[in-house]
Amino acid sequence: MRNKLAISVLCLGFATTAFAANTPWWERPTVCKLDPTKCYNVMGTGYDSGLWDSDFGCWGMKIICPEALTTGEDYPTPMGRNEISKGTNLNKDFDLSILNGDCFGARKTKNNGAMASVDGKYVRVWCNGILDNPDEYLENGEITFGTEPTCADLADYGYVATENGKCYGKFYDPAKYYIECNSNEITPSRIIVLNGADYSYSGGNNITDSSSAAKLFDSMEKTSASQREIYFKK
């Protein structure tokens, strides 16, 4: 019985030695191997797949843009999933699901990009060139972190705080329109057509002859003259 056991052990040792000799070292069971688990299904631009997320026990960290951080970083910073979920050192005005170049974090917007989040509140995104000193440039225009321009500030350049596509700032030619403002409000009280025409007038069939046309033009001329006396005093 002892002889059989000795032969069995000898055969087992020989088989193990033979397996080790014929198997590459990296495939042998005694070699420690790294856990290949990935933190994200797809990791391309915006991720660092070579960093180990110890909280979740997986590979890969999301790279956060510096402007989306509250720590004053100058460069993109890799962050673990747990840190991101807690909102640690993150600016709440930024959406970390949006890839912004080679990192994640774009300022939150609404109204098709015409409004942007600043300190938890949404402000107007002004069309390029309207603000004197913009604090930040976005895809659709510019924003200011301070006081927005008043109606009078904009009217000096012929602009009105009206949505113009994906930004604010609609231009009215000063030679054709007068923008009337009230104190420090942003929007004008009314916009006056300087040629005296009623822009809501549809025409219809009221003008049937030259006499009717002459009366209409006479009325337009008087209205235009009165408006100029009020708003363009010498």
**Rounded (5°) CA angle 80-85-88:** 80
The pLDDT score that the predictor gives to residue 15 is 44
Q: What is the mean pLDDT of the chain?
A: 83
Mean pLDDT score, 198-219:
60
Specify the pLDDT at position 194. 85
**What's the pTM value of the predicted model, to 2 decimals?**
0.66
Residue 151 makes CB contacts below 8 A (sequence gap 6+) with: 160, 161, 179, 181, 182, 184, 185, 186, 187, 188
Is the pLDDT at 122 greater than 80? The verdict is yes
What average pLDDT does range 164-170 have in this prediction? 94
When mean pLDDT is compared across 25-29, 160-164, 204-208, the lowest value belongs to: 204-208
Structure tokens at 192: 């006056």
What would the mean pLDDT of 194-214 be, rounded to a whole number? 58
Question: What does the pLDDT average to over 145-170?
Answer: 94
- pLDDT tens per residue across span 40-57: 999 999 999 999 999 999
Residue 220 pLDDT: 72
Residues 6+ apart with CB under 8 A from 95: 105, 106, 107, 108
